[in-house]
Amino acid sequence: MNTVVITGASKGIGHATALKFLAAGYQVFNVSRSAAATPGITDIAIDLSSADFEAVITAKLLPQIASPEKLILIHNAAKLASGSLQETSGEALADILALNVTAPQRLNRMFLPVMSAGSAILYVGSTLSEKAVANSFTYVTSKHAMLGMMRATCQDLAGLKIHTACICPGFTDTEMLRAHVGQDSAILNSIAGGSAFGRLIEPTEIADLLFFSAENPIINGAVLHGNLGQIES
């Protein structure tokens, strides 16, 4: 059976992506602290920033996907925090990197042994994987690192017929974005006005892009921006 493992699939882009793969007949696993609580999605409760999450993966998840026809691993879970270079301590940066960068590599090493030809490792980056804004030092740093990890993944897996890509959403209407702006509709409207279409991206649109990337190995080592065309100031 085709299988997809998605981190942070309980809400937002992750949940929309889980539903997309579920509709296509995939076995779907959500690796997250919170449950998707959706029929057909198997929840594996894990704090991916913890030092010992591998034990939970080994005990509860790997036995359920011992021999998948193909396995899609999607690194979607992320933490977003505000703060400038001047305000950011080493500990604060390490906290963000633990979830946004280190956890994906730990998962890669665990799942690669069961990934056959046709499998894929997909990274959910950000517009901020290739640019920066003020007061988002840890997030920008981590998303740049994730893009570099994808490119290194492509090179190191050459010949195995396992492809990879970094999907970079623009401003998407998710719980994380709304929480980040304090549920302020005026700020959300201002952000939406920054795209050429004058609206926020729907999580289902990014889910479609992830699914297409998973199914098409010609997209290997690629950075795909899904942002409706951002208006540069």
Instruction: Give the other-Cβ count within 10 Å of 105's Cβ.
Output: 14
Measured CA distances, 62 to 29, 31, 57, 67 (Å): 11, 12, 6, 9
Single-letter amino acid code for the residue at 25 = G
Rounded to two decimals, the pTM is 0.95
Angle at CA of residue 110, ends 94 and 210, nearest 5°: 80
**Low-confidence stretches of the chain (pLDDT beneath 50):** none
Location of structure tokens 């280190």: 102
Which pLDDT score is estimated for 169? 96
Which pLDDT score is estimated for 143? 98
In tens, the pLDDT along 108-167 reads 999 999 999 999 999 999 999 999 999 999 999 999 999 999 999 999 999 999 999 999
The domain limits of the chain are 3-172+201-226
Token pair, residue 158, equals: 């050459």
Which pLDDT score is estimated for 8? 97
Class assignment of domain 3-172+201-226?
Answer: alpha beta
Instruction: Return the axis-axis angle of helices 203-215 and 12-23, rounded to nearest 10°.
Output: 50
Measured CA distances, 90 to 137, 145, 146, 154 (Å): 12, 16, 18, 29
Q: What share of the chain is helix, strand, coil (3-state, %, to 5)?
A: 45, 20, 40
Instruction: Give the other-Cβ count within 10 Å of 30's Cβ.
Output: 29
Q: Nearest CA to 123 among 216, 210, 18, 232?
A: 210
Which pLDDT score is estimated for 232? 79
CA 41 remoteness from chain centre: 17
